[in-house]
Structure 1
Amino acid sequence: MSLILSMRLKKSLYAGLAVVVSCLCLPSFAQNFPNKPVKLVVTYPAGGSSDLMARIMGQKLSEHWGQPVIIESKPGAAGSIGMEFTARQPADGYTFVVGNLGPAAVNPLISKVPYNMDKDFIPVALTATGPNILAVPTASPFKNLNELITAARNKPDSLNFGTSGPGSMAHLGGELIMRQANIKMTGVPYKGGGLAVNDLLAGQIDMMLSDALPVSQHIKSGRLRALAITSAKRSPMMPDIPTFAEAGLPGLVAVNWWGVFLPAGTPKPVVDAYNAALVKIMANPDLKERFAGLGVEALATSQDEFKAFLASESAKYSKLIADNNIKAE
């Protein structure tokens, strides 16, 4: 036997042995996971809903695991910077990201992003959903959704709605309303949802579809009027607001959502350990109450349920974006 052939055989044997050892060690590795601090990547600036939820989740995971969960803030590019950062991390379970509708579903449809959701990530669990509220100033003549739709039909493009930029939930929600109601309105883009809410309060724009946190306090104080909510059922947090179906637009359901993703290649026992931990902590009464205070519902799905949900969201918005030629600025 030649020396080269002998070396090749030895290399092959060593490689095979390494695979066997690796497979045998994975359950033990998962059992002991984590044995050092874990990084939780947040894709939006501090103080927003995503950041606050991640910090609450990180605290509960830290208590559950007995290891620190360190928040790594990577905001920018509508969440895409944080997603790219996570995709490039070692697939050992020690870095995960809370992704949401924008960077995980919409951004890849409206712009070229430096990651591929199918190839670069493993979806672990859907962890929260939150409805959007169609709000108008209290001085608005519209007391309900039907009055608003009638006015828009009578005078196309006479009404406007605030958005936080192309592809934002406020923008896509406005497009969904126009498509479902067969009306035309004008979207007014802002650099952030807070700026749009300020102009809504001042009566500078006619309406806005907003997540609950920025507008709920103003609805309670009487400065804004809620016409409809985008959840499939009335929200227990805001039971007086009718769903779009109840208000006259059946089938219009559009929720914000957040879920946990790991870098592709993370061993399955570790992914399973993550899912089990999330199922445990997301049912914690204190966590659920704190999430409710942010206007969202805490939950934890199976991996398969999350994958099916992602597929349905992609199908819904890819058609809407293509039909309306929506592009990132």
Structure 2
Amino acid sequence: MKSGFLKQGRRAMMLCSLAAVWALPSQAQAWPDKPIRVIVPYAAGQGADVLMRLLGQELSASLGQPVIVENKAGAGGNIGTAAAAKSAPDGYTFLLGTNATNAANEFLYSNPGYSPATDFESVAMIGLLPMVISTSAADIPANGVAKLITQARAHPQSLNVGLPSTTANVVFAQFVKMADAPLFGVKYKASGQALTDTIGGQIPLVIDTVTASRAHIAAGRLKAIGITSRNASEMLPGVQSVAEQGVSGFDVVAWDALFAPKGTPTLVIHKMSDHIAQALAIPEMRKRMMDIGVEPLVMDPAKLKDFVQLERKKWGDVIVSANIRID
């Protein structure tokens, strides 16, 4: 009698377990059946926020559910990223991650509050944000990386470079190392003052985003020496990359990508990735992204995972060797 009860109990437990397993694919197949939240770990109005709201409009239409942007700013993106890492992996919370949150911050901060390597699933790349080295100096020409290197070697540490962000600091450190160009970095809190000082001649050079720099380049107030992506970008026509000008392999750019908490169903991840790829293929979407300084780039989950692993090594190596720290 007791044995019969035990058998029935085991059978009931097995059926419950199987029902739970069977329910997962059906739930994922029905996804999405309620609003989707994307945590942006930066303040409203900043570049990542503007990008996600732009993309979110298209995703809302294609997915048939609202895509809600939730700003959780602070600590260089760590607060919002940590919140996303702790969210339920049910396919209804995602992270708009960046080169900072998912590649650099673990090396810049002693305790960012999450692990980019183990707390997230890669979903889809969204786009690249190349930086540009610019000058107002009369004796350094546009597309003049070779001239800049020659001058830096002839007068070590005499050419100041404005650095208004952590990304600019990393670009600078990698350029100095790979080009063997002994420049002197000057840190700024924001783009405005760094660009103003370069235009006014207080410093000869600045490294900043294409978005912040290109209006000044178009107006002739600055000359673009080189863009920091591996190849030239249609966002800055006529500007050669640093790599194309002799610093072989140079490629340091900011980027934005979508991630999900670890354990999010694979079917959901691939569905979301497909919807993002479709959105990035729309000509008007591509144009609007490039207008805000983001070069669209499609990567599926597997390619993004491999890319982020390489980026973590690249950013980590530069940050550690240059001893760049925030806390």
TM-score > 0.5, shorter chain as reference = yes
> 2:313 matched to which residue of 1?
315
Contact 1:30/1:273, CA 8 A, preserved across alignment? no
> 2:291 matched to which residue of 1?
293
**In structure 1, distance between residues paired with 2:16 and 2:288:** 46
| Equivalent of 2:84 in 86, 95, 98 | 86
> 1:207 matched to which residue of 2?
205
> 1:125 matched to which residue of 2?
124
| Equivalent of 1:48 in 42, 46, 49 | 46
> 1:223 matched to which residue of 2?
221
The one-letter amino acid paired with 1:129 is L
> 1:65 matched to which residue of 2?
63
| TM-score, normalising length: structure 2 | 0.92
Please state how far the C-alpha of 1:48 moved relative to its aligned partner: 2.4
Number of equivalenced pairs: 324
Per-residue CA shift, 1:122-163, capped at 9, x if unaligned? 1111111122111112x4431122222222112211122122
The one-letter amino acid paired with 2:277 is V
**In structure 2, distance between residues paired with 1:271 and 1:172:** 31
**In structure 1, distance between residues paired with 2:27 and 2:194:** 48
Q: How does 1:16-35 map to 2 (within 5 A)?
A: 16-35=14-33
The one-letter amino acid paired with 2:288 is R
Contact 2:230/2:244, CA 8 A, preserved across alignment? no
How much is the aligned-residue C-alpha RMSD, in angstroms?
2.2
Unaligned runs of 5+ in 1: none
Matched residue SS, 1:119: coil
Contact 1:149/1:181, CA 8 A, preserved across alignment? yes
Per-residue CA shift, 1:183-207, capped at 9, x if unaligned? 3222222223344223333333321
From the superposition, tell whether residues 222 and 269 of structure 1 become closer, same or farther in structure 2 (CA, over 3 Å): same
**In structure 2, distance between residues paired with 1:239 and 1:254:** 19
Contact 2:231/2:244, CA 8 A, preserved across alignment? no
**In structure 1, distance between residues paired with 2:206 and 2:53:** 28
| Equivalent of 2:95 in 88, 94, 97 | 97
Please state how far the C-alpha of 1:237 moved relative to its aligned partner: 2.5
2:227 counterpart of 1:243: no
**In structure 2, distance between residues paired with 1:234 and 1:134:** 13
| Equivalent of 1:187 in 182, 185, 188 | 185
Unaligned runs of 5+ in 2: none
Contact 1:34/1:67, CA 8 A, preserved across alignment? yes
From the superposition, tell whether residues 8 and 104 of structure 1 become closer, same or farther in structure 2 (CA, over 3 Å): farther
Matched residue SS, 2:117: helix
